[in-house]
Amino acid sequence: MPQYSPADLTDLIIRVFVNSKVDPQTARVVAEALVRAEADGISSHGIARVPPYAEQAMNGKVDGFAKPTVTRTAAAVLDVDSRIGFAFPAIRLGLERAAEIVKETGIVAIGIKHSHHFGVAGHHVEDAANRGLMALAFSNTPAAIAPWGGSKALYGTNPIAFACPRGDGRPPLVIDLSVSTVARGKVVLADKTGEAIPDDWALDANGHATTDAKVALTGSMAPLGGRTAGAKGAALGLMIELLCGALTGSNFGYQGSSFFEPTGVPPSIGHLILVIDSNAFGGGAGTVARAEEMFAEILNQPGTRLPGDSRLAKRSAAPGGIAIPDALAQDLEARARA
């Protein structure tokens, strides 16, 4: 597999997007987000997303020239309209504006509407935590999970993320999960490589477990909690549909088309991000120190680690080069020359 430096890979992807009807500034923001995901070892949200993103931009399913807008609708509420464009510029705009007002309000809710794929949810809350803020993030996605007891997908895999700043220059603690057993992107990758999937990842169209990725993509993802406690994961999926679809004025998961298909109606889904200034709460300036007490107690137990530690280990190795599968690298190089 060819290896690229993060900078060279970013430049390659920018060229792909610019050749695919994407504004150069937007192309850079999106490329940086995908390379960041790949560098963290999250391939399902990394470079494999470039071809479908590019094809959707070419076909107008996502508007590569859209410029997000932000409106402060209440003291601590920001309404961001992605305008059927890529999510990353809208998220960046919302976080920047929230950072300006959160010291005044203590907490800010950012609702982002008419958007596209959220990317790695953990990265958005990590960006807030790097500003000294706690943060929570939610997004709905195109339908992939059936309501508990049903067989037709209605809810998305709907990620949840949380970040907390740490002391002494350490990277923030980041928790990032979806309400499905695994992200749907992992099944898509398995389908492309012809690999079998574990039998607890997904269900066929009749609601039965399957190890065939292609069959899984015609059925639904298994909710978090699996066969015995999946009702909890499905309930969380519904909660996020209401927070990100109904609350923001965006599509529900079943109303938008796939992030992976080149054509179809725009996904037009929503995101909700909450940023919190701990100085406005009882923990005050001691919040981070108290958090470190908890982290120390966790790590005192043999065999434990903090959420996100494996991601950070992969990130530290990324400057030495990011390996891309041969076929994908050839595809990107061809698109960049077009």
Specify whether 136 is located in the same domain as 227.
Answer: yes
Using alpha carbons, list the distances in angstroms from residue 288 to 87, 104, 137, 260: 30, 20, 20, 39
Q: For the chain, give the number of residues.
A: 338
Specify whether 244 is located in the same domain as 270.
Answer: yes
3-state secondary structure of 177: strand
Specify whether 160 is located in the same domain as 264.
Answer: yes
Question: What tens digit of pLDDT does each residue of 99-131 get?
Answer: 999 999 999 999 999 999 999 999 999 999 999
Tell me which residue of 199, 125, 133 sits closest to 162, measured CA to CA: 125
Q: Which residue has 């099944």 as its token pair?
A: 187
With 90 as the cut, is the pLDDT of residue 245 above it? yes
Q: Is residue 198 part of a domain?
A: no
Q: Is residue 215 part of a domain?
A: no
When pLDDT is cut at 50, 70 and 90, the band that residue 189 belongs to is confident
Specify whether 131 is located in the same domain as 175.
Answer: yes
Specify whether 2 is located in the same domain as 89.
Answer: no
Amino acid making up residue 165: P
Structure-derived torsion over alpha carbons of residues 218, 224, 41, 98, reported in degrees to the nearest 10: 110
> The tokens of 338 are what?
């077009």
Q: Is residue 195 part of a domain?
A: no
CATH of the domain at 78: 3.30.1370.60
Using CA atoms, how far apart are residues 238 and 245, in angstroms rounded to an integer?
10
| Cross-strand partners of 271 | 112, 139
Specify whether 4 is located in the same domain as 33.
Answer: yes
The DSSP letter of residue 60 is T
Give the total number of structural domains in the chain.
2
Specify whether 52 is located in the same domain as 139.
Answer: no
Helices (H) and strands (E) in the chain, counts: 11, 12
Tell me which residue of 67, 57, 3, 60 sits closest to 338, measured CA to CA: 57
* Structural domain span for residue 39: 1-59+315-338
- Rounded average pLDDT over 90-103: 98
Structure-derived torsion over alpha carbons of residues 43, 242, 248, 50, reported in degrees to the nearest 10: 20
pLDDT attached to residue 317: 82
With 80 as the cut, is the pLDDT of residue 338 above it? no
With 90 as the cut, is the pLDDT of residue 234 above it? yes
3-state secondary structure of 238: helix
Using CA atoms, how far apart are residues 15 and 23, in angstroms rounded to an integer?
11
- Rounded average pLDDT over 199-226: 90
pLDDT attached to residue 137: 99
- Rounded average pLDDT over 30-41: 97
Specify whether 109 is located in the same domain as 155.
Answer: yes
Question: What tens digit of pLDDT does each residue of 246-303 get?
Answer: 999 999 999 989 999 999 999 999 999 999 999 999 998 899 999 999 999 999 999 9
State phi, psi for 145 to the nearest 5 degrees.
-125, 135
Strands 69-74 and 107-115: unpaired
Specify whether 22 is located in the same domain as 163.
Answer: no
* H or E stretch at 191: helix 184-193
pLDDT attached to residue 7: 96
Tell me which residue of 85, 174, 87 sits closest to 127, measured CA to CA: 174
